[in-house]
Amino acid sequence: MNRIIFLHIPKTGGTSVKQMLFSNFDKQAVLPAELLSDQATYSIDTLNQYSIFHGHLDWACLDCLTGNKFTFTMLRSPRDRIISNYFYWKERADESSRDDLIRDNLPHIADLKDYDSLTQYFLSDKESTRTAINITFNNMYAYYFAIRRYGWPYVNPTMMPDQVVSNAISNINKLSFVGITEYMDMSISWLSSALGIRKTKHTLHVNQTQSLARKREAIEREIRMNKELESTFEEFTALDKIVYKNMRERFLQITRDSRYDDLSTSVRRDD
């Protein structure tokens, strides 16, 4: 069986990709699990009954899938991704009660109800907040692709930074395709060509945090005015910048050297 696996990194345009997949494939073929906690409830036999996988899933836990696999992801400028993710969570926290968020298994978002600013949140010493920050914001690309799982630094806290980057780039280069959010239109066009599906009319820019563009200048000013916060953001993006730059250069090289209808010969497929 041919399988399509979309490793959705939060706030990288994944909802747009999901929309395209859902409009082109039978819903019965799609694994209902979009979160790691749901993914873990499926046996190997049950997982192999599906052909479309998407969501915030552990890549390593999908090695059990049989047949040909087209595995891909999207990457966004690391600093932009962090800011977008923070405000998405903050808006959810402001719009919902703490009880509702806890009931929906979103305690990490409920935590944001305790903070009035980005500075307070990222410089908090509260244990549950630090855990959520480390997993979601601290060089997420590098650690996720280095160990092919969510959960750093709790999965493997001993890896040195250079090993993390080396492993991440080596692993991510084995993906069938890596799109770039800043080139969403081109990424979607190439992806649709590789998969032999149509590009949907409303694919682009779905689920953007509406207030982010208006707040961006104030956010950057807040970061620049606080040396500790600026240092934190530099630390949280240091490894991801290397991974992102490498993948962005690869993407631009492919798009320069190949035509849309030749993409199937330019991307890698997992065998």
Alpha helices in 96-183 (DSSP H): 98-103, 107-110, 118-122, 127-136, 140-147, 161-172
Contact 72, 188 (CB under 8 A): no
The burial class, CB within 10 Å (0-12 / 13-18 / 19+), for 151 is: middle
Task: Determine the pLDDT at residue 260.
Answer: 44
Mean pLDDT of the chain: 87
Q: Is 271 among the domain residues? A: no
51-89 in b/e form (b: 16+ CB < 10 A) is: bbbbbbbbbebbeebeeebbbbbbbbbbbbbbbbbbbbb
C-alpha–C-alpha distance, residues 98 and 104, integer Å: 10
User: What single DSSP character describes residue 221?
Assistant: H
Alpha-carbon distance of 223 to 169, in angstroms, equals: 29
**Length reported for the chain:** 271
CA atoms within 13 A on the CB side of 67: 15
Q: Take residue 257 and report the two structure tokens written for it.
A: 């050297």
Bridge partners (DSSP) listed for residue 69: 3, 270
Decide if 54 is inside a domain: yes
- Tell me which residue range forms the domain holding 16: 3-265
Among residues 175, 152, 178, the alpha carbon closest in space to that of 163 is found at 152
Q: How far is residue 95's CA from residue 79's CA, in Å, rounded to a whole number?
A: 25
Q: Is 58 inside any structural domain?
A: yes
pLDDT band at 105 (very low <50, low <70, confident <90, very high): confident
- 194 belongs to a structural domain: yes
Token pair in block for residue 170:
């080596």
Following CA atoms 155, 160, 161, 164 in sequence, which dihedral angle do they give, to the nearest 10 degrees?
-50
Q: Is residue 141 part of a domain?
A: yes
The pLDDT confidence band at residue 213, using thresholds 50, 70 and 90, is: low
Task: Find residue 270's DSSP bridge partners.
Answer: 69
Is residue 270 included in any domain, yes or no? no
Per the structure, the count of domains in the chain is 1
pLDDT band at residue 153 using 50, 70 and 90 as cut-offs: low
**pLDDT the model gives residue 261:** 43
What is the percent of the chain where pLDDT is above 90?
65
Averaged over 200-229, what is the pLDDT?
71
What's the CATH code of the domain at 54? Answer: 3.40.50
pLDDT of 211: 55
How much is the pLDDT for 264? 42
Task: For residue 256, give every residue at least 6 positions away whose Cβ sits within 8 Å of its Cβ, in sequence order, or none.
Answer: none
Distance from C-alpha of 87 to C-alpha of 14, rounded to nearest angstrom: 16
Instruction: Give the integer Cα–Cα distance in Å for 2 and 71.
Output: 11
Residue 91 lies in a domain: yes
Residue 67 lies in a domain: yes
- DSSP symbols for 45-62: HHHTT-SEEEEB--SGGG
174, β-bridge pairs: none
Kind and range of the H or E run holding 6? strand 3-7
